[in-house]
Structure 1
Amino acid sequence: MNLKSRHFRAGVGMTVLLAVLAIGLSHFPILRHIGPLSTALLLGLIWRAFMGVPLGHHVGIGFSAKSLLRLGIILLGVRLNLDLVLQGGFRILLLDVTVIGFGLTFITWLGLKMGLDATLSCLIAVDSSICGSSAVAAAAPALGADDDAPALVIPMCSLIGTLAVLVYTFGQSWLQVDPHIYGMFAGATLHEVAQVMAAVTAVPESLEIGTVTKLTRVVLLVPAVFILSGWLQKRKAREKRGEAVASKEGGGRPKPWFVLGFLVVGILNTLAYKVFPDSRLILDNYNEQILVIANFLMAMAMAGMGLQVDFGKLRENGLRAVVVALIGWVTLAGVAAVEIYVMNIC
């Protein structure tokens, strides 16, 4: 890779431009809950469809879509506050483990039954079960997905999550559910952190429990990605070379180490707050700046993915993927509702 190449710089520059536009547009009401990552990906798709992408630019675009994506995910670890998660207690952890475990299993199974490939099915499950576009961005390289899969999953699930925020908000104003229960439900079932915040802000008493429930799901991204990566590698090995060869080669499969970087940054961030309790405001300020950088790098990566998409694959899988995502999310919400109800009557 020639970093000084004019084509390389032009490709990276395209992703920078689209990331800046996406972050600016994401402040508008219609796009606020969709988020800058989905917006950047959509802008990349639109650019490719109407303007085209010169062949020489793909090296720089690929650098943004892969290398900068991993760096952005690692830096996102500052979002983690493990103390907050521990304060949530066993019930929150149990709820989130159930939601993620059921979601990953059921939605992946449903996608396979609907004729989607295993990687695309897993990414839909990750988006719905864990933390939306950030989770898909982290899982996609770990699962060996090409750019077409996250390009389909991220905007689709962002739209579903945005509609869910409206349903939750209107439903809460009508049903007047206990704020504690409402916060747990929103935190356990909405796709994005921003969507959870939008849903619980209207009910201030549910803000803390909703935030803790959602952040616990974010922490569980790390073991979920490792488990899915191992399962998918074994599945692909069996399909290609047979069960015997797959079992021999299983120990050499690639590991998503950058996801561990995400967790390490979260641990260091949590320790910093413990060691320097009087410097909370300074640490908050540093974290906000790091998050700005992380989100910008990931917006560049999403734009890069959009610029490299095969539209034929999107058309081929689009309708089935929407059906899987909708059925999967509704079922997931039902499971969470039942578990929360049982917890509160026991």
Structure 2
Amino acid sequence: MISRIRRFVPALVLVALIASLALWGESLPLLRHVGALALALLLGLGLRVLWRVPEAYVAGVSWAARALLRWGIVLLGVRLDLMLVWEAGVAILAISASVVLCGLIGISWLGRRLGLGPVLAMLIAVDSSICGGSAVAAAAPVVGARERDVALVVPMCSLLGTVLMLGYTVVQQWWPLSELRYGVLVGASLHEVAQVVAAVTPFAGAVEPGMVAKLSRVALLVPAVAVLGWVWGRASGGKSREPNAAPARKVSSAPAAPRPWFVLGFFAVSLANTVFLHAWPEARGLVEQVDGLLLHSAVFLMAMAMAAMGLGTDFAHLRENGLRAFACALLGWLGIAGLVAAELAVFT
């Protein structure tokens, strides 16, 4: 294991530099709401355009895209306080659950109707329904997704979510909803946590319902990915992931029923974080400091993985599926937003 990692050092240094640049870029005003993961992936894509990755780097880049991503997901569990989800009202929990369930089923169906492969359609559904790039990272190994699929979905949905976030704030200024309804609508329909924070912060009464709605969707990541892995293993078997694709060699690393240990790790870290936060309130400040360090580490590891995915991207796949994927993501968001608006009219 150690000797293998030593061989990967040049590639790891490269993706670490790209991830560091993405984290720095995230602090810039124009890029703040795009997110470090999408930026790292876009930087990796840009570097691939300008520079052919040496053969000696290929194995390390591929390893970083898989292994670092999964460990980043485990550490990302510190973002979730399960007590906030437990204390949320039944209405908000029901709305969040309906978004995840209907989004996964409806958007994946829509993607297939638009001519996308089932894996790509499901990744768009996961990104839109749960929690953006982090959810895609968790679901990708379970459904046997390739780096090129993740490289298409994550930046596209991140940029779409950023545009929608700006649109929400503008519309709320001119045609305001009640702050409760606005917060839940934003939290239940935007892709990334950072986008929700940015959209609700200008409206004080929308912050708490918006964050609870969003974190409720994040909490559903574990059961959603677990069920998805079981269903996918039964339904897909060894079938090709792309319609009309040329015959491809069998990929032995994609078992029919993968075990998402990293998703269980995410839940375990979330549970431990919740216990430490609430069982020892006098140490809450220290726990939050540790949480901040672990969250930064998680984002850095996942940004390294996204940079590696960008370096290994197949541009022909992007050209072939880009417009259909964007149409699926946009129509999927419209469906989710409409569903949430209808439920808010009933519950509030």
Task: Tell me the TM-score normalized by structure 2.
Answer: 0.93
In the alignment, structure 1 residue 110 sits paired with structure 2 residue 110: yes
Spell out, residue by residue over 1:197-247, the C-alpha distance to the aligned partner (whole angstroms, 9 max, x if none).
00000101110111111001000011111122222222222747xxxxxxx
Cα RMSD (Å)? 1.5
Spell out, residue by residue over 1:106-133, the C-alpha distance to the aligned partner (whole angstroms, 9 max, x if none).
1000011111111100000000001001
Structure 1's consecutive aligned runs of 4 or more residues displaced over 4 angstroms after TM superposition are: 4-7
| Maintained 8 Å contact 1:108/1:122 | yes
Q: How much has 1:252 moved relative to structure 2?
A: 6.7
**Separation in 2, partners of 1:143, 1:236:** 9
Structure 1, unaligned runs of 5 or more: 241-250
Task: Tell me the TM-score normalized by structure 1.
Answer: 0.94
Q: 3-state SS of the aligned residue for 2:237?
A: helix
**Separation in 1, partners of 2:238, 2:61:** 33
In the alignment, structure 1 residue 292 sits paired with structure 2 residue 287: no
Please state which structure has a larger fraction of its residues in helix: 1
Q: 3-state SS of the aligned residue for 1:142?
A: coil
Q: How much has 1:87 moved relative to structure 2?
A: 1.2
Amino acid in the other structure paired with 1:16: A
What corresponds to 1:243 in structure 2?
none
Q: How much has 1:63 moved relative to structure 2?
A: 2.0
In the alignment, structure 1 residue 229 sits paired with structure 2 residue 229: yes
What corresponds to 2:190 in structure 1?
190
Q: 3-state SS of the aligned residue for 1:18?
A: helix
| Maintained 8 Å contact 2:232/2:257 | no
Q: How much has 1:318 moved relative to structure 2?
A: 0.8
Count of aligned positions: 334
| Maintained 8 Å contact 1:118/1:232 | no
Change over 3 Å in CA distance of 1:5–1:297 after alignment to 2: closer
Spell out, residue by residue over 1:16-51, the C-alpha distance to the aligned partner (whole angstroms, 9 max, x if none).
010000000111122111100000000000111111
**Separation in 2, partners of 1:189, 1:235:** 28
In the alignment, structure 1 residue 313 sits paired with structure 2 residue 317: yes
Q: How much has 1:191 moved relative to structure 2?
A: 0.3
**Separation in 1, partners of 2:168, 2:264:** 33
**Separation in 1, partners of 2:51, 2:6:** 19
Spell out, residue by residue over 1:72-112, the C-alpha distance to the aligned partner (whole angstroms, 9 max, x if none).
10000011101111111211110001111111011000011
In the alignment, structure 1 residue 22 sits paired with structure 2 residue 22: yes
**Separation in 2, partners of 1:187, 1:175:** 18
**Separation in 2, partners of 1:15, 1:193:** 24
Instruction: Kindly report which structure 2 residues correspond to 1:150-161, keeping only aligned pairs within 5 A, or say none.
Output: 150-161=150-161
| Maintained 8 Å contact 1:12/1:60 | yes
| Maintained 8 Å contact 2:96/2:217 | yes
In the alignment, structure 1 residue 266 sits paired with structure 2 residue 306: no
**Separation in 1, partners of 2:256, 2:103:** 28
Change over 3 Å in CA distance of 1:144–1:4 after alignment to 2: closer
**Separation in 1, partners of 2:326, 2:183:** 26
What corresponds to 2:53 in structure 1?
53
Change over 3 Å in CA distance of 1:23–1:252 after alignment to 2: closer
Structure 2, unaligned runs of 5 or more: 241-254
Q: How much has 1:331 moved relative to structure 2?
A: 1.1
| Maintained 8 Å contact 1:107/1:125 | yes
What corresponds to 1:82 in structure 2?
82
Q: 3-state SS of the aligned residue for 2:34?
A: coil
Spell out, residue by residue over 1:290-335, the C-alpha distance to the aligned partner (whole angstroms, 9 max, x if none).
1111110000000011011111111111111011111111111111
| Maintained 8 Å contact 1:23/1:36 | yes
Identity %: 48
| Maintained 8 Å contact 1:44/1:303 | yes
**Separation in 2, partners of 1:151, 1:102:** 24
